[in-house]
Amino acid sequence: MDKRKKQEEVFIELVNLQLQPFGKTYKDVKGDPEWYMKFKTSREEEKLFMKNGVEIIRKKLRLSKRIAEQEMSWFVLQWGLTTVEAFEEIKVKADKIIKTGDEGKS
């Protein structure tokens, strides 16, 4: 199997792992370019997902732990679900801007 095909398989496996708690798979979301914004996770669940994802990347792509961690960070940056904590922070800031009309410009 060529490298590109293996990378694609790992990507799909990571998406499936991330969506598992929601009873969804890659097939359910592949036609939606904003799928990852429709599900929320906690920081703890994200940490566990990253840990498991690093192991998948190491095993399937035969990368060092350090490189696998970098790859997993890129995956989460691009395709990671919004964490509930981050969503709440954004909501609080947005509510403040709406209420005061102040966008923090100084």
Residues 8-37, mean pLDDT to the nearest whole number = 95
Per-residue pLDDT reduced to its tens digit, 31-65 = 999 999 899 999 899 999 999 999 999 999 999 99
Alpha carbons 12 and 24: distance in angstroms, whole number: 12
- Taking the domains of the chain in order of start, what are their residue ranges? 3-100
Alpha carbons 40 and 21: distance in angstroms, whole number: 10
Return the closest-CA partner of residue 20 out of 42, 50, 49, 55.
Answer: 49
Per-residue pLDDT reduced to its tens digit, 68-99 = 999 999 999 999 998 877 667 777 777 888 88
Q: Report the length, in residues, of the chain.
A: 106
List C-alpha distances in Å: 14 to 19, 26, 36, 90.
9, 9, 12, 26
Task: Report whether pLDDT(106) > 50.
Answer: no
pTM of the model: 0.78
**Residue ranges with strand state E in the chain:** 40-41, 82-83
Of 19 and 82, which is predicted with more confidence? Answer: 19
